[in-house]
Chains A and B, each alone.
Chain A
Amino acid sequence: MEKFIRHTGSALPLRRSNVDTDQIIPAVYLKRVTRSGFEDGLFSAWRSDSEFVLNKPEYSKASILVAGVDFGTGSSREHAVWALQNYGFKAVISSRFADIFRGNSLKGGLLTVILPQEQVEALWLAIESDPTTQVTVDLESRTVTYNDVTCSFELDDYTRWRLLEGLDDIGLTLRHEDVVTSFEEKRAEFKPKTLPALA
């Protein structure tokens, strides 16, 4: 996984709450068996409206998405994270994320930043009045800065460290394989196994 230390870019205001993963990427786009190429499905239903903010030329270079509350609800599809990343987003800012989406994003290196709703509103105003406003998301200092504003955000030390170092979770867990093995030796006998198949 790529390291995430800090990112600076312009930001796109998505003034909608409860953006579910069926909106981020509808099911018909989920049939691919690769991790790339999902950008064409990103917000596809909304993109057919020329007024939709993603279609506005002034936001075409945006790499930070600033969304309403409860972003990423619904399905567990990690394709939602890939679609955002494939499109070019490095970070998403909202006042609340759905649990599974947030877990997926932090595993995949898309930084999800939680800011209080007032700070999200202020950021919306700034990037709407000047779409070229440069916004910096700094994981090292856990801050979002733009113009002369600095907002701090929280992220647990462990996840922050993993992202800063670009470490893969599976590799980290496999360092403790022996503990997993000894746990397995003590598992109850009556717990079901899928093999062999019983009828």
Chain B
Amino acid sequence: MGKTLAEKIWEDHVVRRADGEPDLLYIDLHLIHEVTSPQAFDGLRLTNRKIRRPDLTIATEDHNTPTQNIDQPIADPVSKLQVDTLRKNCAEFGVRIHSLGDIEQGIVHVVGPQLGLTQPGMTIVCGDSHTSTHGAFGALAFGIGTSEVEHVMATQTLPLARPKTMAINVEGKLKSGVTSKDIILAIIAKIGTGGGQGYVLEYRGSAIRELSMEGRMTICNMSIEAGARAGLIAPDKTTFNYIKGKPHAPKGADWDAAIAYWSTLVTDSDAKFDAEINLDASELAPFVTWGTNPGQGLPLNSNVPNPAEIADAEARGAAERALIYMDLTAGTPLKSIKIDTVFLGSCTNGRIEDLRAAAEVIKNKKIASSLRMLVVPGSARVRLQAESEGLDKVFIDAGAEWRNAGCSMCLGMNPDQLKPGERSASTSNRNFEGRQGKGGRTHLVSPLVAAATALRGTLSSPADL
């Protein structure tokens, strides 16, 4: 029997297999940031261990970093300590780091692909659950905890139980105004936040093949929101073209060897998935979340659901609690919900195509006076690229704030936070209670919906303008 893409990559990385033990898997690339690494470095020091492969390791500062006044010392002393600790640790252990102010600095999942370090067939880990983003290149990429970070540092391997595989087939053509963000929100609403638990997801079908690399990254990014540690897409011409010429892309004979290998990275026609889900892309509409987990989403044209109509007791209870937290009443049209803050950014939708799409909607218009809009590029390079295209002017002229790169309001560790009771339309990936600031309320949306919402003041799509 043939193998799925995930199984092929897995098999290619098994260092050791023994009965009754997890497989020991080799890790090709380890990404590090300031929040989940300090205790791991400490662990190495305590046991007198080194980083086995600093040349397969790279660090960036993103979660805590301010997006304003980045030439000044970080104002929050605890954030500053965490960032300083990362810098010291990287110097001590010989790890390459891109610090605030460096041209390569940015959100870890934006930086890897843009440097060309993310390539098909690799195993990639990071102490961050959205490492699944890199699966868009046909890599097996997943988030790990700090103990595992230390394990990879010391051994460049991880003991892991083999996951099951799930195919998510998305066939058909997307309607205009519908994006990859809407695809993934629809998938999560369909299978639930636990639906992918224990699986590696493979996104397949014509609608997926049509997507750009950045669109694919948006989808793989949110695999974890469906409970799956990893999600991936078979590499193809789109992938190869994207990688070609990037700083760390293979060159010369290496390029040919790489292409030859990468071309084998497809699920065999006789391979079997443990589960399979089908979605018709042509039926999808812009999607938004109304609740406090990413599975609580609906097409924008719908009304806030009535928990009483939900059959499953568990889901009904969760919906009741979510509506209280979100301060929403069943039956309210989603489009009438007023928004205080629009956040355009994050490792889900903070890339150049996302900024372009939003700018196109906003161009020569003004955002509603009732709200503020934060535009936070995913990396310093994305910011520069946007500026060279004049996108910064589009946003600033419309009344939005143009910021420096980082995670920012996606998780509210830096000063960019919602106030209690404030409501956001956010292109990020998590609408958990308090995620963007204590008491803050989050609606997850695509960049197009974010832009249209900024103009109208209520949840909207460009078609409503």
Which of B224, B249, B432 counts the most A-chain CB atoms under 10 A from its CB?
B432
Q: Are B433 and A45 in contact (CB under 8 A)?
A: yes
**Contacts A108-B147, A173-B155, A194-B56 given; does A26 touch B438 at CB 8 Å:** yes
A6-14, A58-66, A76-84, A136-144: which one contacts chain B? A76-84
Return chain B residues, CB-CB under 8 Å to A17: 314, 317-318
Min Cβ gap A110→B in Å is: 11
Min Cβ gap B86→A in Å is: 9
Bound form: Cα–Cα A70–B314 in Å: 11
Bound form: Cα–Cα A179–B24 in Å: 10
Determine if B55 is an interface residue (Cβ-Cβ < 8 Å). yes
Return chain B residues, CB-CB under 8 Å to A32: 78, 82
Determine if A91 is an interface residue (Cβ-Cβ < 8 Å). no
Determine if A149 is an interface residue (Cβ-Cβ < 8 Å). no
Min Cβ gap B294→A in Å is: 9
Min Cβ gap A94→B in Å is: 11
Return chain B residues, CB-CB under 8 Å to A34: 38-39, 42
Q: Are A107 and B145 in contact (CB under 8 A)?
A: yes
Please tell me which one of the listed residues A35, A70, A76 contacts residue B128 in the complex, with CB atoms under 8 A apart.
A76
Return chain A residues, CB-CB under 8 Å to B154: 170, 173-174
Q: Are B143 and A180 in contact (CB under 8 A)?
A: no
B188-215 Cβ-contact flags toward A at 8 Å (1 or 0)? 0000011001100000000000000000
Determine if A166 is an interface residue (Cβ-Cβ < 8 Å). no
Q: Are A158 and B20 in contact (CB under 8 A)?
A: yes
Determine if A99 is an interface residue (Cβ-Cβ < 8 Å). yes
Min Cβ gap B349→A in Å is: 18
Return chain A residues, CB-CB under 8 Å to B157: 173, 180
Return chain B residues, CB-CB under 8 Å to A69: 194, 314
Determine if A189 is an interface residue (Cβ-Cβ < 8 Å). yes
**Contacts A22-B435, A99-B229, A170-B154 given; does A158 touch B21 at CB 8 Å:** yes
Min Cβ gap B413→A in Å is: 5
Return chain B residues, CB-CB under 8 Å to A190: 250, 254-255, 257-258, 261
Determine if A5 is an interface residue (Cβ-Cβ < 8 Å). no
A15-33 Cβ-contact flags toward B at 8 Å (1 or 0)? 0111010110011101111
Q: Which of B207-264 contact A (CB under 8 A)?
A: 224, 227-229, 247-250, 254-255, 257-258, 261
Bound form: Cα–Cα A115–B150 in Å: 30
Q: Are A28 and B413 in contact (CB under 8 A)?
A: yes
Q: Are A20 and B254 in contact (CB under 8 A)?
A: no
Please tell me which one of the listed residues B16, B22, B248, B257 contacts residue A188 in the complex, with CB atoms under 8 A apart.
B257
Return chain B residues, CB-CB under 8 Å to A68: 314
Please tell me which one of the listed residues B24, B127, B250, B430 contacts residue A74 in the complex, with CB atoms under 8 A apart.
B430
Q: Are B39 and A33 in contact (CB under 8 A)?
A: yes
Determine if B356 is an interface residue (Cβ-Cβ < 8 Å). no
Return chain B residues, CB-CB under 8 Å to A28: 412-413, 438
Please tell me which one of the listed residues A70, A189, A193, A199 contacts residue B193 in the complex, with CB atoms under 8 A apart.
A70
Bound form: Cα–Cα A188–B432 in Å: 42
Q: Are B254 and A33 in contact (CB under 8 A)?
A: no
A171-199 Cβ-contact flags toward B at 8 Å (1 or 0)? 01110110110011001111111110111
Return chain B residues, CB-CB under 8 Å to A174: 154-155
Interface size on B, residues (CB 8 A): 86
Interface size on A, residues (CB 8 A): 61
Q: Are B116 and A173 in contact (CB under 8 A)?
A: no
Bound form: Cα–Cα A31–B224 in Å: 23
**Contacts A22-B430, A26-B434 given; does A76 touch B193 at CB 8 Å:** no
Determine if A90 is an interface residue (Cβ-Cβ < 8 Å). no
Q: Are B127 and A192 in contact (CB under 8 A)?
A: no
Bound form: Cα–Cα A192–B26 in Å: 14
Q: Are A194 and B96 in contact (CB under 8 A)?
A: yes
**Contacts A33-B85, A69-B194 given; does A22 touch B434 at CB 8 Å:** yes
Q: Are B317 and A180 in contact (CB under 8 A)?
A: no
Determine if B453 is an interface residue (Cβ-Cβ < 8 Å). no
Bound form: Cα–Cα A169–B38 in Å: 19
Q: Are B247 and A198 in contact (CB under 8 A)?
A: yes
Which of A22, A96, A170, A192 counts the most B-chain CB atoms under 10 A from its CB?
A192
Determine if A98 is an interface residue (Cβ-Cβ < 8 Å). yes
Return chain A residues, CB-CB under 8 Å to B310: none
Determine if B303 is an interface residue (Cβ-Cβ < 8 Å). no
Bound form: Cα–Cα A81–B116 in Å: 34
Q: Which residue of the partner chain A has the closest CB to B435? A: A22
**Contacts A104-B145, A180-B155 given; does A194 touch B432 at CB 8 Å:** no
**Contacts A30-B413, A157-B20, A176-B16 given; does A98 touch B227 at CB 8 Å:** yes
Min Cβ gap B432→A in Å is: 4
Q: Are B119 and A192 in contact (CB under 8 A)?
A: yes
Return chain A residues, CB-CB under 8 Å to B57: 194
Determine if A73 is an interface residue (Cβ-Cβ < 8 Å). yes
Determine if A103 is an interface residue (Cβ-Cβ < 8 Å). yes
- 23 residue pairs of the A-B complex, CB under 8 angstroms, read A17-B317, A17-B318, A18-B194, A18-B293, A28-B438, A31-B64, A34-B38, A35-B39, A35-B42, A76-B145, A77-B36, A78-B147, A100-B144, A100-B229, A107-B145, A170-B155, A176-B15, A187-B26, A188-B258, A190-B257, A190-B258, A192-B29, A198-B115
Which residues of chain B have a CB within 8 Å of any CB of chain A? 15-16, 20-22, 24, 26, 28-29, 35-36, 38-39, 42, 47, 49, 52, 54-58, 63-64, 76, 78-79, 81-82, 85, 96, 104, 115-117, 119, 122, 127-129, 143-148, 150-151, 154-157, 159, 161, 193-194, 197-198, 224, 227-229, 247-250, 254-255, 257-258, 261, 293, 314, 317-318, 321, 411-413, 430, 432-435, 438-439
A-B residue pairs, 4 tightest by C-beta: A104-B145, A33-B38, A78-B145, A190-B254
Could you list 10 further interchain pairs (A-B, Cβ under 8 angstroms) beyond the known A69-B194, A76-B128, A170-B154?
A27-B411, A31-B76, A98-B227, A170-B151, A173-B24, A173-B151, A173-B159, A189-B254, A197-B104, A198-B115
